[in-house]
Amino acid sequence: MLLTGLSGRPLSGRGIGPAIRARLEKLDIHDMAGLLAHLPRNWQDRRACTRPEDVRQGDAAWIEGVVTDHIRQRIRGGRSLLKIRLDARGCPLDLVCFNRDYLARTWPVGTRLFVWGSFERELAGLSTAAFEAIRADDPQADLEFGRLVPVYGLTEGVTQRTMRRIIFDALAGIRGIGHDLPDYLVARRRMRPLDELLLKTHYPGTEAEGLAARDELVYIEFLLFQTGILARRARLGRTHKAHSYSSSDVRETAEAAFGFRLTAGQASAWEDLRRTMSGTEPMQVLLLGDVGSGKTAIAAMAILLAVRSGVQVVMAAPTVILARQLAERMERYLAPLGVRTAFLSGGMALDERKRILADLAGSRIDLLSGTHALFHADVIFSRLGLVVIDEQHRFGVKQRKALRDKGKDADYLAMSATPIPRTLAMALYGDYGSIRIEGIPEGRIPVETHWLQGGQGLEEALSEVEARIRRGEQACFVYPSIGDEDDDSSRAATAAWKRYARTGLAARGISLLHGRLDDREKESVMAGFMAGAAGLLVATSVIEVGIDNPRLTAIIIFGAERFGLSQIHQLRGRVGRGGLPSVCWLVTDGGGTESGFARMKALVESTDGFKIAEADLALRGPGDFLGLAQTGLPRFMVADIARDGRMLELARRDASLILRQDPLLESPHHARFVRENPEGGYE
C-alpha cells in the first residue's frame, strides 16, 4: 500500500459531509489515502492572465473582467439564456449561460471575475459558453488561478472546484509523511518524502515537475509490489519438493507419437521447461506463445514427464468447451503412451463422478482434466505433482490455490492463449518464471485479413464463404451480442442464425453457439461442428479460445470495433489450422474514430500477437484487455500498468537487487517491505 499511514483513515475535512463521501465512493475513494492518490489527469496552465487582444480563436485562456450587464432572453423549448457581459480591459466579453439565471444574483454588476474558458472571437469582442469563473475576492481564487491547476476525474455531484478544495486541504494535513524505504535506496534514487511528492503531483510548479513527482510515486508503489512478489518467489525457492522427474527420452517419445517434430522455438521452450521441472524447488512457470505456436504440445510433454516420474497431473480450463477440447487433445496425444486420462465436469452423472473420484484417489488416473468442478473438496489425488492451468487469469486466486493445495509442493504450469505484454506479465506473473515459444509451426499459412468498413464488400465475402462451404470447408460468423428470437439487429447472433438459415450458407447445415446455452448444449453444438455436421457456425466470442478445427477456413467478425485487438487476434486464430488457405473479414460500421481506424489497420497489417497485445493494452488498459474484471490483477493506487511500463521495469530491477542481498527481507532496512508483504505461501 503506497499510503499505508493514511489507509483506513476516514474521509474528513472542510466540505466533506455524508453526501460528498457517498459521491466520492463512486470514484473508489473510501479513505484519505484514496483521496490523495486520486491524481490529476492533467493540469491547466493558469499561471498568467491573458490580455483579450492576445486570445486566439478556440484557445483556452484566463481572462479577468468586471460584470457590466445581464442580458436575458427566452429561447425555444422554454429554456432561458443569460448573457453576463464583462469589461475585460476594454474588450466586451459575454459569458453565455443556459438555464442558469441564478448567476445574475451570484455575480451582480460590478463583480470582478476570473474566467477560464475556450473563447470565440466575435465582431463585438469575445464570448464563451464553456467556462469556469470565480469572484476575484473568493478565498479559493488563489487555488483556481495563478498556478497550474489540476484536472481530476469526477462523478456526478462533485465539481472540479470541490475536488480541488478537499484535496488541497488534505495535502495540508500530511506534512512530514515519509515513505520509510531503505536509506541506501532513497539516496541512490534521490527520492523525496511522500508529502512533497503528493503536493508536487497535485500542484506542481511546472508540468515537468508534476510528471516527475507522479513517476516517483509510481516507482514507489511498483517497488513495494515487486519486492513482495519476488520475496514470495524466493520463499518458494527455499522449499524442496518431495517428487522428482527422471524420464529423459520424453521428447523423442512424444515426437514419434504425436506425428511431428518440434520446431526450433518449441524445442527451446521444452528444454527450458524440462530443466525447470527438474529443479528441487516447486516450479512456477508461465508458458507463453502466439496463436498456434504449440503450447498444448509442450504441455503434453510436461504431463508425460510427470506421469512417467510417478506423479499425477491436473489440468484446468475456464470453460467446458475449452476444457473438453484440451482433454480430448491430451487423450489423443498421451493415451497411446499409456497415460490414463479422465474428464470431470459439473454436469456429469453422480455415479460417473463417484467412479472417477475413486479411481483418482486410488492412483488409477494419471491426468484429470476439467473446469471449476476440479476445485471441490472431494476431488482428492493420491500423489499430485503437476498443476496445469490454461487461461489462468479467468480463475480466481483462491481457486488456483485450492487446486494447487491438493498436492504437496506441486509444480505449477500456467498457459495463456492470449499473448501477454511484458508489463502485464510482470504484474500478473511477477513471481513466475517465463518461457516463450518463438515462432509458429512450419507450413502454417498466415490468415489473410480484410477490413470491410461500413459493410462494403460483405456480399462478396458471403459469396466466397458459401463457395468454401460447398466444397467441404467450414466457416464461422462471430457477433458481439446474442440477441433473442425477435431481435433483428445486425450485431445479434440469434437474428443472423435465423436469417442465414434461409440462404445457401446453410447448404451443409448451420449451428448456433452462445453463452446462454447450458454446458451440455454447448458441447453438443461444438461436437457436431467439429464432426462436420454443419458447414457454418454462428456464434458469439464464446469460441475465442480452444476451437481447433482443421476444416475451418473462413471467419467473419461482425461489429469488430466492439472487440479488443487481442480478442480479434484470438478469433482469427481459430482458422487456418489445417494447412488450407484461410481468410478473416472484419466488418465495422461506417465512419468510426481515428483510434478505431488504427486498430483495424493494425490487425490487417500484423499477425504478431505480441505486437497486437501491446497495442491493445495501451488502448484498453489491463482489466478490459483480459476481457473481465480481472481476479488476481493488483489494484494500484497511482500506477497504471499500460502507461507506466518504464517505471515498472525500473522497480523490478531494484526489487531484484534488494532480494539478491536479502532474500528473506531480514534486514531492519527492509522492514517496510515485510509490513507490506507479510510471510505467506505462493499463489
For the segment 475-485, what is each residue's pLDDT rounded down to a tens digit?
A: 999 998 887 65
Reported confidence tier of residue 676, pLDDT bands at 50, 70, 90: low
What was the pLDDT predicted at 298? 95
Please name the amino acid found at residue 366: D
Please tell me whether residue 669 adopts helix, strand or coil conformation: helix
Count of CB atoms situated within 10 Å of the CB of 652 = 21
Domain identity same for 473 and 432: no
What was the pLDDT predicted at 629? 42
How far apart CA 466 and CA 473 sit, in angstroms, is 9
Phi/psi of residue 20, each to 5°? -65, -40
Domain identity same for 424 and 520: no
**Helix runs in 316-378, H state only:** 320-334, 350-361
Domain identity same for 53 and 4: no
Q: In this structure, are residues 648 and 423 in contact, taking their beta carbons and an 8 Å threshold?
A: yes
What was the pLDDT predicted at 74? 83
What was the pLDDT predicted at 82? 94
Domain presence at residue 32? yes
Count of CB atoms situated within 10 Å of the CB of 502 = 9
Per-residue model confidence as pLDDT tens digits over 109-142: 999 999 999 999 988 899 999 999 999 999 999 9
Q: In this structure, are residues 588 and 453 in contact, taking their beta carbons and an 8 Å threshold?
A: yes
Cell of 656: 531484484
Count of CB atoms situated within 10 Å of the CB of 121 = 14
- Sheet order of strands, 474-478 included: 448-453, 583-588, 552-558, 474-478, 536-539, 510-513
Domain identity same for 63 and 177: no
Give the count of domains, the chain: 4
What Cα–Cα distance (Å) separates residue 678 from each residue in 4, 369, 426? 14, 34, 20
Q: Which of 283, 279, 331 is nearest to 304 (CA)?
A: 331
Domain identity same for 577 and 588: yes
Domain presence at residue 201? yes
Domain identity same for 454 and 589: yes
What was the pLDDT predicted at 441? 67
Domain presence at residue 499? yes
Give kind and range of the element (H or E) at residue 385. Answer: strand 384-390
Q: Is the pLDDT of residue 236 over 80?
A: no
Give kind and range of the element (H or E) at residue 369. Answer: strand 367-370
Question: First and final CA of the chain: distance in angstroms?
Answer: 19
How far apart CA 394 and CA 418 sit, in angstroms, is 12
Phi/psi of residue 225, each to 5°? -70, -50
Domain identity same for 600 and 504: yes
How far apart CA 57 and CA 60 sit, in angstroms, is 9
Last-in-domain residue among 411, 437, 463: 437
CATH code of the domain containing 590: 3.40.50.300
Rounded CA Rg of the chain = 31
Please tell me whether residue 346 adopts helix, strand or coil conformation: coil
Domain presence at residue 325? yes
Domain identity same for 169 and 38: yes
What was the pLDDT predicted at 1? 60
Domain identity same for 294 and 432: yes
What was the pLDDT predicted at 59? 86
Per-residue model confidence as pLDDT tens digits over 215-234: 999 999 999 888 888 888 78
Q: Which long-range contacts (CB under 8 A, 24 or more apart) does 594-600 make?
A: 595/619, 596/561, 599/561, 599/565, 600/451, 600/453, 600/560, 600/561
Q: In this structure, are residues 405 and 676 in contact, taking their beta carbons and an 8 Å threshold?
A: no
Q: Which of 322, 320, 345 is nearest to 417 (CA)?
A: 322
What was the pLDDT predicted at 680? 39
Per-residue model confidence as pLDDT tens digits over 52-79: 999 988 889 999 999 999 999 888 777 8
Last-in-domain residue among 130, 145, 160: 145
Q: What percent of the chain has pLDDT over 70?
A: 93
Please tell me whether residue 553 adopts helix, strand or coil conformation: strand
* pTM for this prediction: 0.76
Q: Is the pLDDT of residue 623 over 80?
A: no
* Mean pLDDT of all residues belonging to the chain: 87
Per-residue model confidence as pLDDT tens digits over 646-662: 999 999 999 999 988 88
Last-in-domain residue among 585, 606, 627: 606
Domain identity same for 191 and 324: no
CATH code of the domain containing 99: 2.40.50.140
Q: In this structure, are residues 34 and 9 in contact, taking their beta carbons and an 8 Å threshold?
A: no
Q: In this structure, are residues 137 and 112 in contact, taking their beta carbons and an 8 Å threshold?
A: yes
Domain identity same for 425 and 397: yes
Phi/psi of residue 432, each to 5°? -105, 150
How far apart CA 233 and CA 663 sit, in angstroms, is 9
Angle between helices 594-605 and 609-625 (to 10 degrees): 140
Instruction: Provide the domain limits for residue 38.
Output: 1-47+146-205
What Cα–Cα distance (Å) separates residue 314 from each residue in 243, 296, 382? 16, 14, 12
Domain presence at residue 675? no
565-586: average pLDDT = 87
Q: Which of 372, 362, 311 is nearest to 339 (CA)?
A: 311
**Helix runs in 394-455, H state only:** 397-404, 422-428
What was the pLDDT predicted at 169? 93
Q: In this structure, are residues 682 and 431 in contact, taking their beta carbons and an 8 Å threshold?
A: yes
Domain presence at residue 225? no
Angle at 141 between CA 140 and CA 144, to 5 degrees: 95
**Helix runs in 1-101, H state only:** 18-25, 32-36
Domain presence at residue 468? yes
Give kind and range of the element (H or E) at residue 466. Answer: helix 458-470
Cβ within 8 Å of residue 122, ≥6 positions away:
none
Give kind and range of the element (H or E) at residue 642. Answer: none
Domain identity same for 177 and 38: yes
Domain presence at residue 456? yes
